[in-house]
Amino acid sequence: MSGEKGEIYHHDHPQHHLFRDYNEFYDLASLFSQRPTAGANSFLHDLPSIDASFPTFAEYFNSTSEHDTIYRSVDAPFASNVKKEALHGMDRVTSGVISNNSSVSRADSGTGPTTPNSSMSSSSTEAAAMDDCKIDGMVKQEGDEEVKQEAKTKFEEGDKAKKLNKPRSKGEKRQRQPRFAFMTKSEVDHLEDGYRWRKYGQKAVKNSPYPRSYYRCTTQKCPVKKRVERSYQDPTVVITTYEGKHTHQTPATLRGSTHLLAPAPPPNLPLHVGFHRDLLMSHLVSSSMATAPMDTNPSYGMTMPMSLPLPPPAQRMVSRSDQNQLTDYGLLQDIVPSLINQP
DNA sequence: CGCGTTTGACCGGCGC
DNA sequence: GCGCCGGTCAAACGCG
């Protein structure tokens, strides 16, 4: 992998235990206001340094106001509060690390992918960045040096700079959209998320029998891309990585599929809104799935985000009222139609 | 015919 | 400089 250094996090809980614990860890209440409990059911249970110094999500969000700070927060909570060495040797990814680039300085716009599928588990975001999820079960974080340099530069469309015949100026590194990856226990590789994607590449993954597919949003001028690969360690797990932010509403929404998908928020919603929506999405769906037998839906399973998305500079705590605000935007319906529309 | 997929070639970054 | 590797391009192809 070029230009990307990684922090490696493993977890050797049995898989189902892992997912269940993840859901509990991301209890909706604790998601925004409480510290993750290190109780018997927390997947962080046996991780050291989970104590009062472990920031709440609110603290985590509020701690970021500029690139450098964000960068520090990139390592938090998992990378700084959890002793990394204790995470090595685990054979399953339970926590991602976020990295970010200069995109945090751009004007936020777009909506996160949503799911019209009532039972799918796919969550998404464009708000955070995480680099490669190595197929050998490691989560890699973009190198600090690269990231910091990127943070110093003005946001530009990263891929444009890489265009053929459009070489970047000297010293200019490729800009990356914020990324967010999550793992989904699923039989299908390409999870339906409400957007239309065009596959533009497929590459064999080193040390893995499963290829990695590259998709681009088919909407014109929408820069969002996503990568889909299957974990070779657990072929039932699909690792999906979103990059960028949608500049449009979901086609499903535009088609008026209100029975499946509530109206999507305006595409110019702040980044953190989409972020929370996505995080909620992954959480709520996971929670809902946690209460339902896996085999009730063979295609889609549980989802766990592999990274905590980064808030924008003006990130603030999402309180209950904020959640209501999200609801006002139809976000909750948008992200969890399976919950909203369930009989 | 339009749209999406496949697939080999190519590019650029990085490590040695 | 060279090779490896991730990522992207684009022509060919398939499908409805």
C-alpha closest to that of A191 among A255, A129, A266, A281 = A281
Cis bond upstream, residue A77 (ω within 30): yes
Q: What is the pLDDT of residue A305?
A: 60
Cα(A238)–Cα(A58) distance, integer angstroms: 29
C-alpha closest to that of A162 among A250, A243, A67 = A243
Spanning CA of A164 to C1' of B10, the rounded length in angstroms is 9
Q: SS in 3 state form for chain A?
A: CCCCCCCCCCECCCHHHHHHHHHHHCCHHHHHCCCCCCCCCCCCCCCCCCCCCCCCHHHHHHCCCCHHHHHHHHCCCHHHHCCHHHHCCCCECCCCCCCCCHHHHCCCCCCCCCCCCCCCCCCCCCCCCCCCEECCCEECCCCHHHHHHHHHCCCCCHHHHCCCCCCCCCCCCCCCCCEEEEEEECCCCCCCCCCCEEEEEEEECCCCCCEEEEEEECCCCCCCEEEEEECCCCCCEEEEEEECCCCCCCHHHHCCCCCCCCCCCCCCCCHHHHHHHHHHHHHHHHHHHHCCCHHHCCCCCCEEECCCCCCCCCCCCCCHHHHHHHHHCCHHHHHCHHHHCCC
Spanning CA of A190 to C1' of C11, the rounded length in angstroms is 24
Q: Which of residues 264-323 of A touch strand B (CB under 7 A)?
A: none
Whether the CB-CB separation of A109 and A245 falls below 8 Å is answered with: yes
Q: What is the pLDDT of residue A187?
A: 76
Spanning CA of A3 to C1' of B14, the rounded length in angstroms is 6
Spanning CA of A160 to C1' of B9, the rounded length in angstroms is 20
A342 touches strand B (CB under 7 A): no
Q: What is the pLDDT of residue A290?
A: 34
Residue lying closest to nucleotide B3, CA to C1': A198
List the nucleotides on chain B closer than 7 A to a protein CB: 3-9, 11-15
Spanning CA of A254 to C1' of B6, the rounded length in angstroms is 30
> In what order do the strands lie in the sheet containing A179-185?
A197-204, A211-217, A225-230, A237-243, A179-185, A303-305
**Cα separation values, A8 from A1, A70, A86, A206, Å:** 14, 20, 10, 17
Which nucleotide is nearest to A146 if distance is taken from CA to C1'?
A: B13
Spanning CA of A1 to C1' of C3, the rounded length in angstroms is 13
Give A48-104 pLDDT, tens digit per residue. 333 333 333 333 333 333 333 223 333 333 333 333 333 332 333 333 333 333 333
A132 touches strand B (CB under 7 A): no
Angle, CA of A35, A39 and A40, to the nearest 5°: 150
Which nucleotide is nearest to A201 if distance is taken from CA to C1'?
A: C8
Whether the CB-CB separation of A141 and A131 falls below 8 Å is answered with: yes
pTM for the model: 0.48
Q: What is the pLDDT of residue A252?
A: 57
Q: Which residue has the tokens 């599929």?
A: A257
Q: What is the pLDDT of residue A22?
A: 33
Residues of chain A scoring pLDDT < 70: 1-177, 251-343
A160 touches strand B (CB under 7 A): no
C-alpha closest to that of A264 among A252, A276, A281 = A252
Q: What is the pLDDT of residue A214?
A: 93
Give A277-309 pLDDT, tens digit per residue. 444 444 433 333 333 333 333 344 455 665 434
Q: What is the pLDDT of residue A205?
A: 86
A259 touches strand B (CB under 7 A): no
A199 touches strand B (CB under 7 A): yes
Q: What is the pLDDT of residue A200?
A: 93
- Sequence length of chain A is 343
